[in-house]
Amino acid sequence: MRVIRLYGPRDLRLTEEAAPAVATGETLVRVTDVGICGSDLHWFEEGGIGDARLTRPVVPGHEIAGVVASGPSAGTLVAVDPAIPDGVCPTCLRGYRNLCPSVLFAGHGMIDGGLRELMAWPAHLLHPLPPGLSTTDGAVLEPLGVAIHAVGLGHLRTASAVAVVGCGPIGLLLIQVALASGATSALAIDPLPHRRDKAARCGATLVLTPEEARERAGELAVDVVFEMAGNGAAVDQAMDLVRPGGRVVLGGIPTDDQTSFSASVARRKGVTIALVRRMTDDVYERGARLVERGLVDVTSLVTARYPLEKAAEAFESAVIRQGLKVVVQPSS
């Protein structure tokens, strides 16, 4: 089978490898769609993310969907949950599988991800897609799950006002999920015109550049701010925009593994800060229901599709923020 491996920063190579062995409890999946995530771009550009570094050539990609390739469920379209928690540690037993210290994660460390034609994966982490959802839609259920989890951390109340700082794919999904969850206004902030335009089409009630938002911060106090840009200026802007007693949910991943903000502003407002790490248990099913019922549009977020042999071109396109969600299709 054909496989893409990352050997170092910007060093993606197409190789031929044997099909994976299928262990007990696993299912063989023919991978059809893999979305490129912002965290994938950290691996691609820097050879790591946070305090994790590339220690061997790894197959990237954790936004995965495909078709069951063998067994009684052969032909079933599935989304692949990329996280394998141990299920027995105190953190998992408390219900925080996304925070499992021993989690195995596709495209990270010793665990190969989705940029290959076939992958063997635990059967219980394969989520059948409902009728009407394509496998490309299925790949976007992973970032949608992150957005759903982030909204949960925001503790949205009915008729809340929210802001999203950073309108990449997860930010755009956040706008839709927040509105579907009872928010009545959504401010979207991004420096890129095409992302601001898409934010408006996703339901944002006000769309601004970061500079415009700074000028109007005093009049724009909102209940919850979701930061999805991954830089200090965006975090500071979140603190400026949130109302006293409000919540700021940090989801952006900074390049230098450091997050800072004006402590005096946050302290005087008594801001509650939450940080997003991946997602909780039931988000695939909840996300699929939102898409099925037309409450969240994932299809139009995918603006480019590349075959496996052009994966490097796909990553370069994503790095310069062309379009929105870039998808690689190993077996289309």
Mean pLDDT of 182-201: 97
Name every residue whose Cβ is closer than 8 Å to that of residue 261 and which is 6 or more positions away in sequence.
232, 235, 236, 238, 239
* Residue in the structure block whose two tokens are 């299809």: 299
What average pLDDT does range 29-45 have in this prediction? 92
| pLDDT at position 47 over 90 | no
User: Please, are residues 143 and 167 in contact by the beta-carbon 8 Å criterion?
Assistant: no
245 in the same domain as 196? yes
User: Can you tell me the distance from the alpha carbon of 167 to that of 199, in angstroms, rounded to the nearest whole number?
Assistant: 7
pLDDT digits (tens, 9 = 90+) for 88-105: 999 999 999 999 999 999
If asked whether residues 160 and 49 sit together in one domain, one would say no
Q: Does 290 map to a domain?
A: no
Q: Closest Cα to residue 12, out of 304, 301, 303, 306?
A: 306
| pLDDT band of 270, cuts 50, 70, 90 | very high
Query: Cα dihedral angle (292, 295, 298, 301), rounded to 10 degrees?
Result: 160
> Do residues 119 and 217 both lie within one domain?
no
Gap between the Cα atoms of 175 and 154, Å rounded: 13
- The Cα–Cα gap between 19 and 100 comes to 29
305 and 253 in a common domain: no
Most distant CA pair in the chain, distance: 60
Q: Which single residue is written with the structure tokens 């480019």?
A: 304
Q: What is the pLDDT of residues 11-33, one digit of tens each?
A: 999 999 999 999 999 999 999 99
Kindly state whether residue 118 falls inside one of the protein's structural domains: yes
| Predicted confidence (pLDDT) at residue 332 exceeds the cutoff of 80 | no
Residue 284 lies in a domain: no
How many CA within 13 A on the CB side of residue 82? 31
Q: Residue 311: what are its φ and ψ, rounded to 5°?
A: -60, -40
CATH number at residue 187: 3.40.50.720
Considering the domain architecture, whether residues 29 and 70 belong to the same structural domain is answered as yes
Rounded CA separation 325/140 (Å): 9
Instruction: Verify that 200 and 251 share a domain, yes or no.
Output: yes
pLDDT of residue 297: 97
In a domain, 292, yes or no: no
pLDDT at residue 51 above 80? no
Together in a domain, 87 and 199:
no
What domain count does the chain have?
2
Q: What is the pLDDT of residue 244?
A: 95
Residue 140 within a domain: no
Structural domain range at position 106: 2-128+298-329
| CATH number for position 36 | 3.90.180.10
Which residues pair with residue 65 across a beta bridge? Answer: 33, 79
- C-alpha radius of gyration, the chain, whole number: 19
Phi, psi of 273 (to 5 degrees): -115, 130
Q: What is the model's pTM?
A: 0.93
Identify which of 3, 10, 81 has the alpha carbon closest to the alpha carbon of residue 319.
10
d(CA 318, CA 330): 17
Per-residue confidence (pLDDT) for residue 43, from 0 to 100: 84
Question: Using an 8 Å Cβ cutoff, are 164 and 186 in contact?
Answer: yes
pLDDT score at 258: 80
**281 assigned to some structural domain:** no
Q: Report the Cα 267 to chain-centroid distance in Å.
A: 29
286 in a domain, yes or no? no
What are the pLDDT digits (tens) for 295-328?
A: 999 999 999 999 999 999 999 999 998 889 999 9
User: What does the pLDDT average to over 105-110?
Assistant: 90
Is there a single domain that holds both residue 225 and residue 321? Answer: no
